Structure formats: C-alpha cells, structure tokens
C-alpha cells in the first residue's frame, strides 16, 4: 500500500510536469532533430570529405560521431538547469521543500526524490534525441535505448553535484557562472564535436576528469555498437561515483538547510 517516500516527492514534480509535458517533450525531440539536420548532415558532409577523417573518427562518419553524443550533452544541459533555479526555488521562492519538510518526509528523502526527478528529466531529454536519431540511417541502432540510459547517468552525475551546491546558496548569482565556465565549455571541449586527442594534452586530462567525456564515449559507443567491457565499466564506474558522491552531499546540504 505504502509508496516509498522519494517516489512521493518525485510525484509532486510529475504533477507539475503533467501540465507542461506536451511542449517539453516536443522540444526534447524537435530541437536536436533540427540541430542534427543542420550541423550533423551539413558539417558532416564537409568533414567526411577531409583527408584522414575516417581514421580520426574510428571509421565513423561525422554524423555517427557527433549525433549520439548529443544524448549525453542534452541530458547534461537539461539536468544542470533543473538543479539550479528550480532547486533554489524549492528553498527560497515557492519554498516547496520547506512545506514538504513539515510532513513526515525527511530532508534526505526529499533530496532523493528531487534526484529521481532529475534522472527522469535526463531520460526524457535523451529519449528526445534518440527518437531524432531513428530518422537517420547512420544512427538507427539497437543500441539507442542503452545510450539513453547512459545519458541519464551522465545527467544525474551533473545534477546531483549541482543540487548539492544549490542547496547551500541563498542567491542565484553563481548559476550563470556555472553555465558559462562549466557547462558550455564542457559542451564544446568534452569530446562531443571532435575526438579529444585533438586538444592539447593538459586539456585532454581536464576533459577526462569531468563526467561529460565519459558519457559521450558511452553514448557514442552504444549507438555505433562499439562498446567494450573494460572501457564501459570504467566510464560507468566513474559516472556512478559522481552520482553517489553528489547524492550524498545533496542529502547533507538538504538536511542542513531544512533542519536549521
């Protein structure tokens, strides 16, 4: 009969989403679709004509290289935004978390429910891209569902850490900075648009230290059916570590903030 507490917190987010899902779901599909038509096919035609591109891209066309990575980057973008303003609002503006904390729910359960919701948003964003990929011959792959799961993992790796940060904030001033100096650079330098061995060595290490590159590798390999056990285990393990550490610190900062 009884529903686990984090699921009931998740439900409250879903209740709001139900009122706006149509536009959100359409956006999750239409935006990457148009992007892929323009960037993937257009730029891809140029790149594939270049000499040596086949070796550099592991025998993939540029479209096959770029498009699957968007599953990971979209998940990152959507969840990191979700972990900023809406989470701060839960403490500060509409104060929904404070209202929830007055019920039998514990701060930790609230944090976990919020994390589950972020995972859902990451999966929706990734699925939108995956559906778009079905429309293109090079990426119509049985690996798409797995890639969506990898995208979800990538998204939560970001959102859990950012949620933990947001829960300690009184103002939203830091959010544009995070977007400008973390999210956007990762989008550009995280291996989505070109192999990171094109970068200077120190930047390669930076890229490998952040979660996005691991997510990009996973989604790309899944869609192109190039997954290997050992590297997959490393990528999944690294992302999971981010999720667990982020989740634990989010629980801590929720408990601190809601139990003053």
Partner 1 sequence: MSTTPLIVARGLVKRFGSFTAVDGIDVEVHRGESFGFLGPNGAGKSSTMRMIGCVSPRTDGELRIFDMDPATQGKQIRARIGVVPQADQLDEQLTVQDNLMLYGRYFDLPRAECRRRAAELLEFVQLTDRATSKIEPLSGGMKRRVTIARSLVNEPELLLLDEPTTGLDPQARHVLWDRLYRLKQRGVTLVLTTHYMDEAEQLCDRLVVMDGGRIVAEGSPRSLIEQHSTREVLELRYPAGTNEERAPDVAGIGDRSEVLPDRVLIYAHDGEAALAEVHARGSRPESALVRRSSLEDVFLRLTGRSLVD
Residues contributing to the site for partner 1 (CB under 8 A): 1-3, 5, 8-9, 11-12, 15-16, 19, 94-96, 98-106, 258-260
- The CA distances from residue 62 to 39, 48, 59, 99, 149, in Å, are 10, 6, 9, 49, 23
| Shortest distance (Å) from residue 166 CB to partner 1 | 18
**For the chain, what's the residue count?**
260
Distance of CA 97 to the CA centre of its chain: 23
| Shortest distance (Å) from residue 221 CB to partner 1 | 40
Rg (CA), the chain: 19
Q: Give 149 or 255: the residue with its C-beta nearer to partner 1.
A: 255
Interacting residues of 121 by C-beta distance below 8 A, sequence separation 6+: 78, 79, 82, 155
Number of H-type helices and E-type strands within the chain: 15, 0
Q: How many Cβ atoms are within 10 Å of 40's Cβ, its own excluded?
A: 25
Q: Give 6 or 32: the residue with its C-beta nearer to partner 1.
A: 6
Q: Give 67 or 81: the residue with its C-beta nearer to partner 1.
A: 81
Q: Please answer whether residues 133 and 67 qualify as being in contact, where contact means their C-beta atoms are separated by less than 8 angstroms.
A: yes
| Shortest distance (Å) from residue 2 CB to partner 1 | 5
| Shortest distance (Å) from residue 21 CB to partner 1 | 13
Concatenated DSSP letters for 12-66? HHHHHHTTTHHHHHHHHHHHHHHHIIIIIIIIHHHHHHSTTHHHHTTT--HHHHH
> Hey, what are 32's tokens?
């990457």
| Shortest distance (Å) from residue 102 CB to partner 1 | 4
| Shortest distance (Å) from residue 122 CB to partner 1 | 22
Q: Give 19 or 51: the residue with its C-beta nearer to partner 1.
A: 19
- The CA distances from residue 47 to 183, 184, 204, in Å, are 25, 23, 22
Q: Give 27 or 89: the residue with its C-beta nearer to partner 1.
A: 89
| Shortest distance (Å) from residue 36 CB to partner 1 | 32
Q: Give 95 or 198: the residue with its C-beta nearer to partner 1.
A: 95
d(CA 213, CA 157): 12
Q: Give 12 or 232: the residue with its C-beta nearer to partner 1.
A: 12
Q: Where are the alpha helices (DSSP H) in 84-106?
A: 85-91, 96-101
């Amino acid at each position: 009969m009884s529903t686990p507490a984090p699921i009931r917190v998740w439900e409250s987010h879903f209740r709001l989403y139900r009122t706006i899902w149509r536009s959100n779901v359409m956006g999750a599909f239409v935006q990457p679709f148009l992007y892929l038509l323009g960037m993937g096919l257009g730029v891809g035609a140029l790149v594939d004509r270049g000499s040596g591109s086949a070796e550099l891209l592991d025998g993939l066309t540029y479209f096959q290289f770029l498009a699957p990575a968007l599953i990971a980057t979209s998940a990152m973008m959507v969840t990191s935004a979700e972990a900023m303003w809406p989470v701060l609002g839960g403490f500060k503006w509409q104060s929904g978390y404070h209202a929830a904390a007055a019920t039998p729910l514990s701060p930790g359960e609230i944090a976990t429910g919020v994390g589950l919701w972020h995972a859902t948003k990451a999966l929706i964003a990734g699925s939108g891209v995956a559906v778009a990929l079905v429309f293109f011959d090079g990426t119509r792959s049985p690996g798409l569902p797995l890639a969506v799961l990898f995208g979800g993992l990538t998204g939560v790796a970001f959102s859990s850490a950012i949620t933990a940060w947001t829960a300690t904030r009184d103002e939203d001033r830091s959010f544009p900075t995070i977007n400008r100096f973390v999210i956007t650079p990762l989008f550009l330098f995280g291996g989505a648009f070109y192999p990171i061995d094109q970068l200077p060595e120190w930047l390669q290490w930076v890229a490998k230290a952040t979660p996005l590159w691991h997510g990009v590798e996973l989604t790309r390999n899944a869609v192109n059916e190039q997954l290997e056990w050992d590297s997959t285990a490393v990528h999944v393990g690294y992302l999971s570590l981010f999720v667990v550490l982020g989740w634990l610190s989010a629980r801590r900062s929720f408990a601190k903030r809601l139990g003053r």
